[in-house]
Amino acid sequence: MEESTIELARRGDRNALATILREFQDVWYRMSLGLLRDAELARDATQETALRVMKQLPAFRGESQLRTWSLGIAINVCREIRRRDRPVDGLRLVGMRQEEDGPMGEAEMAESRGRIREMLTELPERQREAVMLRFFEELSVEEAAEAMQCAPGTVKATIHQALKAMKKKFEVKQ
Amino acid sequence: MSEFREEIERARKEHQEVRYPGDLGAEVLNGQSMRLGYGTKPPRHWLFWTSIGSLGAMAATVAIVMWRVQPAGVPCAEPLQAVAFQPRAAEDFSIVPELAGAKLVPSGGDVVPSEGGETAYTMPAMPSFPSMDDAMKSAGSDPKKSSNS
């Protein structure tokens, strides 16, 4: 993302804002989908993230990447939605939608998705956020810490605990 | 690479294939995204102005009806006669009004009652009470000795 585009967007230029939203819509959506496990909720979260990014963009000082900063906003939105919809969160996992499906073979994908997603879903919220930022969005530990608004050491410890729990469950299911 | 790592890698690739179903820029910038309920809602100016207009129209209708319809049996008031303006002299606007046949200060007596007059009130003297020493002496004991013992 070019600095000039960000600067124009900060001043309220609609074309620049549209460029930023199109650039990051997939990032925000897949992060929301990974955390919320519901396509409709993820879409709502993505739109809310876009609105907040537009609102808070004048306060963005450019000390970090716009992607990292906006992912932090997306995580906050997802936390709010999870808090709001906590009672039905477990039920939503049963009916995961076909539109989330990727390009892999159906059987292989279902198996892979079943294992990893199930393990991810069973993780505590913070561990899931850390794993998704670090391994799925490929952020550095420092960037993940900034998005999660915590210290890098906390992210490392959280990821360590998450991987340990996931490996344990993976070996049991083997 | 372990099988667990392979699974993670596969899930990562699958994750990165996910695309947003639509055009977020068009949706958000055209204001079609207020679905969450806790986001920023557009102000309802139209509702305010419609309410103001409705109230104004109702008030105008009531005023016209009251103006057009006169109650039966009530005669019209006679037209008022015009009164010519008569300028008054400056002394007519004195600050203290002078009432006909009345005095501002009452006559035939002092305003403040004089000393010794019939209307003067005197406060009676306070009754005297015996002191503690007198009371103890009359009881037959020395108060200093009794306090030391």
SS (H, E, C) A61-126: CCCCCHHHHHHHHHHHHHHHHHHHCHHHHHHHCCCCCHHHCCCCCHHHHHHHHHHHHHHHHHCCHH
Per-residue pLDDT tens digits for A68-89: 999 999 999 999 999 887 654 4
Is the Cβ of B92 closer than 8 Å to some Cβ of chain A? no
Contact call for residues B104 and B94 (beta carbons, < 8 A): no
B40: which chain A residues are within 8 Å (Cβ-Cβ)? 51, 55
Is the Cβ of B21 closer than 8 Å to some Cβ of chain A? yes
Rounded Cα gap, residues B130 and A38, in angstroms: 97
Nearest-by-Cβ selection for A116 from B11, B24, B39: B11
User: Could you tell me which residues come within 8 angstroms of residue B109 by beta carbon, excluding any fewer than 6 positions away?
Assistant: none
**What pLDDT does residue A1 have?**
72
Q: Mind telling me how many Å the CA of B20 is from chain A's nearest CA?
A: 5
Among B12, B13, B28, the residue to mutate for chain A (most A Cβ within 10 A): B28
Q: Above 60 in pLDDT, residue A67?
A: yes
A135: which chain B residues are within 8 Å (Cβ-Cβ)? 8, 12
**What pLDDT does residue A100 have?**
46
Q: Mind telling me how many Å the CA of A167 is from chain B's nearest CA?
A: 7
SS (H, E, C) B83-120: CCCCCCCHHHHCCCCCCCCCCCCCCCCCCCCCCCCCCC
Contact call for residues A53 and A25 (beta carbons, < 8 A): no
- Give the type of residue at A135: F
Nearest-by-Cβ selection for A26 from B7, B10, B20: B20
Q: Above 70 in pLDDT, residue A17?
A: yes
User: Could you tell me which residues come within 8 angstroms of residue B11 by beta carbon, excluding any fewer than 6 positions away?
Assistant: A112, A113, A116, A117, A120, A136
- pLDDT tens for each residue of chain B, 149 residues long: 588 888 888 888 888 899 999 899 888 888 644 444 444 455 567 888 999 999 999 999 999 998 887 666 556 666 677 777 776 766 666 565 566 666 566 666 555 655 555 555 667 777 777 788 888 888 776 555 555 54
**What pLDDT does residue B57 have?**
94
Rounded Cα gap, residues A76 and A73, in angstroms: 5
**Sign, Cα dihedral of A82, A88, A93, A98:** negative
Lowest mean pLDDT among A24-28, A151-155, B27-31: B27-31
User: In the A/B pair of chains, how many CB contacts fall below 8 A?
Assistant: 97
- Cα angle A116-A122-A124, degrees, rounded to a multiple of 5: 120
**What pLDDT does residue B139 have?**
78
- B94 half-sphere exposure, CB direction, 13 A CA radius: 6
Is the Cβ of B30 closer than 8 Å to some Cβ of chain A? no
Rounded Cα gap, residues A120 and A36, in angstroms: 11
**What pLDDT does residue A117 have?**
78
Q: Above 80 in pLDDT, residue A125?
A: yes
**What pLDDT does residue B126 have?**
78
Lowest mean pLDDT among A68-72, A109-113, A143-147: A109-113
B3: which chain A residues are within 8 Å (Cβ-Cβ)? 170, 174
**What pLDDT does residue A113 have?**
58
Give the residue on A whose Cα is nearest the Cα of B13. A136
**What pLDDT does residue B39 have?**
43
**What pLDDT does residue B81 have?**
72
